[in-house]
Every structure is written in structure tokens, then in C-alpha cells.
């Protein structure tokens, strides 16, 4: 697995990965209606291209395929962390997070924070993040839950 900076040539693959990752979540955790408002079909590629050009995520590549991506904003906000369903459980998110952590240190950031889904919450807890607050978002009349989580950085973590 290699971690690369974003390239416009893989924008469509990243958008597809996001859609596939959300829709692969077990329906006992997020309902079909929740997944549809989170990752609508059809995929709005134009909106994704604009987002990716702004966010410039780090991308995990395995066998010339996008296996996952993560975004780090200048203020320490991790906006997206997604792994393709075919590569889940293989350390993709962990590798991406370690890369972002190194980038955060280079930028002298002292805090990372994220709005983690029910699925992502255990991953971020394992990385040392603490829950600050539970959120309920309403999209198209559908409620989605996530958690604001944060981690303060020092020389050890």
C-alpha cells in the first residue's frame, strides 16, 4: 500500500469509493434511507470534483486502485476517512491516519478533530480520540448520528 497526494485523475474513483463504502454499511447500523441521504444516488461527480480539488485528500493505493482516502484541513479537522469495502480490515484507515498524524506534526498542529459516524467512532477511539459531543443531523427529513471527537497532540501521540 502506498499513500499519495490527491490527483484529479482519480477523482471519480474516490467519489465511487465514498458511495460504495457508505452503502456497504450494515443496514442494522444505518438504514437504507440514512445511507441514501448520506451518499445519494446518482453520485454528483461535479460536486465531488470541486470538493476534492479544495480538500486535496491523501489516498491509499493498492494494486493501482484507490483503497481509501482521508482529508486533513489546515485547522486539524479530519473531514473524511473512508475505505473501499474490498479493502476494509487490511489497515488502510490506520495507514492513512498515521500519514495524517505525521502531516499534522509537520504543520505544528496541536489538535485533531473529526465528526465520526457510528462506524468510524471505534476506529478513532483506538487512535486516542475522545468523544466531545453526540450530534444528530437532519438531512431530507432523515436523522443521522455522529460524534464530535478530538485528540490533542504532544510528542508521544
The full DSSP string for 24-63 is TS-TTTS-HHHHHHHS-SS--HHHHHHHHHHH--EEEEET
- From first to last of its 157 residues, what are the pLDDT tens digits of the chain? 999 999 999 999 999 999 999 999 999 999 999 999 999 999 999 999 999 999 999 999 999 999 999 999 999 999 999 999 999 999 999 999 999 999 999 999 999 999 999 999 999 999 999 999 999 999 999 999 999 999 999 866 6
Domain layout of the chain by residue ranges = 2-108
The whole-angstrom separation of Cα 114 and Cα 121 is 9
CATH topology of domain 2-108: Aminopeptidase (3.40.630)
Say what the pLDDT of residue 154 is: 84
Say what the pLDDT of residue 55 is: 97
Amino acid at each position: 500500500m502506498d499513500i499519495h497526494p490527491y490527483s484529479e485523475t482519480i477523482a471519480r474513483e474516490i467519489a465511487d469509493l465514498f458511495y460504495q463504502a457508505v452503502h456497504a454499511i450494515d443496514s442494522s447500523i444505518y438504514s437504507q434511507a440514512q445511507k441514501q441521504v448520506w451518499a445519494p444516488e446518482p453520485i454528483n461527480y461535479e460536486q465531488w470534483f470541486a470538493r476534492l480539488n479544495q480538500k486535496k485528500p491523501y489516498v491509499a493505493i493498492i494494486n493501482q486502485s484507490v483503497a481509501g482516502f482521508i482529508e486533513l484541513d489546515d485547522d486539524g479537522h479530519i473531514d473524511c476517512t473512508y475505505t473501499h469495502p474490498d479493502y476494509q480490515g487490511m489497515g488502510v484507515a490506520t495507514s492513512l491516519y498515521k500519514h495524517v498524524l505525521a502531516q499534522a506534526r509537520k504543520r505544528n498542529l496541536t489538535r485533531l478533530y473529526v465528526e465520526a459516524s457510528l462506524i468510524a467512532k471505534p476506529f478513532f477511539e483506538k487512535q486516542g480520540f475522545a468523544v466531545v459531543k453526540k450530534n444528530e443531523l437532519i438531512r431530507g427529513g432523515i436523522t443521522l448520528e455522529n460524534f464530535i471527537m478530538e485528540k490533542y497532540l504532544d510528542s508521544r501521540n
